[in-house]
Structure 1
Amino acid sequence: MFDAKLRPVIDPPLNAAARQLVRLGVSANMLTIAGALIGLGAAAAIALQYYTAGLLLVAANRLLDGLDGPVARIKGPSEFGGYLDSLADFLFYVSVPAAFGIANPANALPALFLVSSFTITAVSFLAFAAVAARAGANDGAHGKKAFIYSTGLMEGAETIAFFIAMCLFPLWFPALAWIFTALCVATVLQRIAMARRQFD
């Protein structure tokens, strides 16, 4: 919901950092892979109940995810890079709630529902992107991406806000996870309505 609105704020510093990384010979795929490994490290820390370490690694993962796109645009984006970035994103999004489910048995059921809702949300997102690409429908609100992004109630910024809250207040995970699950379901319904308007 807020991703497109945050772009004018976060893009200038990310682009400046990306130019420095390119001068150092860092590639977008290197950042994506490093971010994915850090994301798995965040999940491991959370599963072991090292929530502060998990929070710091979540932040590092998102920083690298924010940098790989600008680096790719400077060096020239590739189809494989876009694919790899999406795969790394969803690996991160699923592993963090799963880690909370491992950390505390009381978290298991809400974590299961949250991971399931993420899966359905991802399908709605990627299916919309595939059909929109074929139809040539792109509003450009999310900047230059490997594929067409559909605006939704729950996007990257909202997801990270929930992950941060979960790391800061791990005992609140069940309540946060149920709220997050409901918002993911609402996002899927929103995308179905958008798809009906645009594609039918």
Structure 2
Amino acid sequence: MPARREQLNRDRVLAAAVALADAEGADAVSMRGLAQRLGVVPMALYKHVANKDELLDGMIDAVVLEIEAPVDGLDWRSAVRRRILSARTVLLRHPWARRAMESKTTPTPIVLAYMDSTIGIFLGGGLSVDLTHHVMHALGSRIYGFTQELYDTTPAIEIPPEVAQFMAMQFPNIVAVVTSSPHDPGSVVGPGCDDQFEFEFTLDLFLDGVERLHHKGWHS
């Protein structure tokens, strides 16, 4: 008796699409290519996702659902830090998701639920709605584990000595900063900065400031 084919459903479609994007990038995901990966005709996919946009929304949802849920028993600062670092781990596992999220102007209910539960950590910790409102603006994309970096993220190239000398003369402060620390050759942030350290440094700096404002009873 031939093996029974696994039933196609929305979860299976999204899982295959995420796996394809992980392997080849989001641009490689098409309804035709996804159908081939699943061993079905393209029309079979439309029973589960209406179009490419809905497919991308579903893929983003699948990634967001991998982020750790809020942990009970932690103070608000530790809980927020843990959740955002979980989001970062997930985004590093799915590098295409950052660009996909940035391309979307309307969040899905699952994305909104993630945002709502994260806001709930701040409010549950006693922060005012007013302070939390401004905190969320300041957090921006960091809530999802990524940030737009100040420095160019393209791979470093060999700079001729005369150009390096010119740069040092014309822009001495920039040169001093970008050459101040040992670099991680596997980094994707700037010309080799330590991604994880820079992200955690910024997050801790931010949370320290929020904590001070909260203790002062700050309001706008």
Larger Rg: 2
Query: Structure 1 length as normaliser, TM-score?
Result: 0.31
Greater RCO (CA < 8 Å, at least 6 residues apart) = 1
Compute the TM-score of the two structures, normalised by the length of structure 2. 0.29
Which structure shows the bigger proportion of residues in helix conformation? 1
